[in-house]
Every structure is written in structure tokens, then in C-alpha cells.
Amino acid sequence: MVNTINKAKTHCPKGHAYVKENLVLSALKQGRRSCKICRSIGDKKRRNPNGNISPAVLNSQKTHCPNGHLLEGENLIVSETKIGKRSCRICKNEKNKIREQKPERKKYKLEWNSKNLDKLRGHSSKWKKNNPEKAKQWDKEHPENVKQRSRKHEKNPKRIAYRQKWQKLDYAINPEKTLQKNIRTFEKLGQPLDLSSSQYKRSLQAWSKTVKKNNLECAICGTKKNLKSHHIFEKGPYPKLSFNENNGIVLCGQHHYEVHGIHLKSKTYYFYK
């Protein structure tokens, strides 16, 4: 009798309609119909009875997920922590594995791959290895995607550490190559001013000395040790201001690296943030 009376009801006591979206699945299996909205309100009151604590604070107080995994370090998803949520990466990976095994998902994936072959060819490493000539053509036709891919690759901390080791080894084994690279950069910077690489280098050294004479302290911390002259407007986009005395500030070594986005770890070794 109780089940028949419950099935005859169309609304809960608070006026919410018994629609498919508003029904609790666990209650339906038992033969009952309960309102999902009322249950969610009751759960919030149970967790936060006085209503003083915000949901963000309640989320930050959690130390484990419902399955018992620690919500710390690498187990947190970065994209959701920015929004203010904390979710378990292990549980999400397991859900994605179950989702990928479903036949509906496999069909959708095959259809999407057949429609978007150009996108896949630009990103998949297997296709590039099997078809190197076609990959070069694709890169020429899509230069914007190549730039985005290279930027992501260069920002990777593993890539930065590898590049620093390679630069040290290359400087020790082949100092001629590093010298030629520096000459090329100075030639590019000296082109708008009609200067050669040696003239540009000497004029830069003279500019740095004049800036240091006018300012004998670091502009940030006031130290007098390990001083370096810094361009306010950079040399690349503003080459005509590269030798202007008013375009220079004196900074210590640590603050000079920090202004350029580099964190100084010791006197000899530094790494990118």
C-alpha cells in the first residue's frame, strides 16, 4: 500500500515535481520516490547547520576523497583548484577508463577521428613517424599550430633543464659555436643602427659603464655589490633606445635575473621559474 501511494504522488511535500531528473536513483531501486532537491538541501544543513561556513571553506577542509585517497600534491587537479574545487585525480582517471571502454564512446571516437583527420595528423607522433614528408607539408600549411606546440614544449620544466645542461656542455666542447651565435644576435640588433657586431658590443659595454657611474646602488634593495645595468625598454623591440642613458637602471644580480623572469639559485647555477 505504501509503494502504491508513493507512486501516485506527483510532487514532494515542499512542491517540487517528481520528474526523472529530480528523482533519487537509490530510492527508486527500493521502490520509493524521493526528491533530489530536498535531499541536497538536507545534506548541506547537516554539514553546515548554522550556515556560516561557505562551500569553498568546506571543500578546503576535506583531507580525503570519498574513496579514501589523499587530496594533496599531485593527486589534485590544477584546473579545478583554480576554480576553488578539490577533486581526486586517481578517481577521475578510473572513471575515464570505464568511460572509454563503453561501446557508445568508441563509436563516437571513431566518427570524430574520421571527420577530424587534419587535427589528428598535426598532433599524433605515430603518424609523423610513419609519414615524415606529409608531416612537413602539414606544418608548412599550419604555422600557427606549430608555434603553439613549440611554446608548450619550451615551457616544460624538463625541457628547460635539458637545454641548460646542453648549453653548458656545448660551451665547454664547442666555444666557437656560442661565439658565432652571439655575433649573429649582435648583428641583428645592430642592423637598424648601421653597426657591426663588434661595434654594437663595445657601445653596449660603454652604455653599461655610464649607467653604473650615474647610479651606484641597486634601485630595489640598495646594495653596492654585483651591480648590472638593465634596459627599461628592451633592445629587441626598441633598438634605437638601446644606447640611451635614460633607458637604464642599475640592479643587483639577483633582482636583474628576477626582472627577466629567472630565479637565481646560486652564483653559478640558475633555472627558469
Q: What is the pLDDT of residue 4?
A: 64
Per-residue DSSP letters for 65-106? Answer: -TTS-B-SGGGB-HHHHHHT---BHHHHHHHHHHHHTSHHHH
> Three-state DSSP class for 210?
helix
Q: Find the mean pLDDT for residues 122-146.
A: 78
| pLDDT per residue as tens digits for the range 67-106 | 888 888 888 888 888 777 888 899 999 999 998 899 999 8
What SS3 class is residue 174? coil
Helix segments in the chain, DSSP class H: 2-8, 25-29, 36-47, 55-61, 78-83, 89-100, 103-115, 117-123, 125-130, 132-141, 143-155, 157-173, 175-190, 197-214, 253-259
Residue 3 is predicted with a pLDDT of 62
Q: Please determine, for residue 265, whether its predicted confidence score (pLDDT) is greater than 60.
A: no
**Which pLDDT tens digit goes with each residue over 206-241?**
888 888 888 888 888 888 888 888 888 888 788 888
pLDDT at 53: 64
Helix (H) or strand (E) holding 271: strand 270-272
CB atoms within 10 A of CB 86: 19
> Which residues does residue 271 pair with via DSSP β-bridges, in sequence order?
263
For residue range 9-39, what is the model confidence (pLDDT) as tens digits? 778 777 778 888 888 877 777 777 888 887 7
Query: 214-222 long-range contacts, Cβ below 8 Å, gap at least 24?
Result: 214/245, 215/249, 215/250, 216/250, 217/250, 218/250, 218/251, 218/252, 218/255, 219/249, 219/250, 219/251, 220/251, 220/252, 220/255, 221/252, 221/255
Separation of alpha carbons 76 and 70, rounded Å: 9
pLDDT above 70: percentage of residues in the chain: 84
For residue range 252-261, what is the model confidence (pLDDT) as tens digits? 888 888 887 7
- In the chain, the amino acid numbered 225 is K
Instruction: Please give the Cα distance from 81 to 67 (Å, whole number).
Output: 19
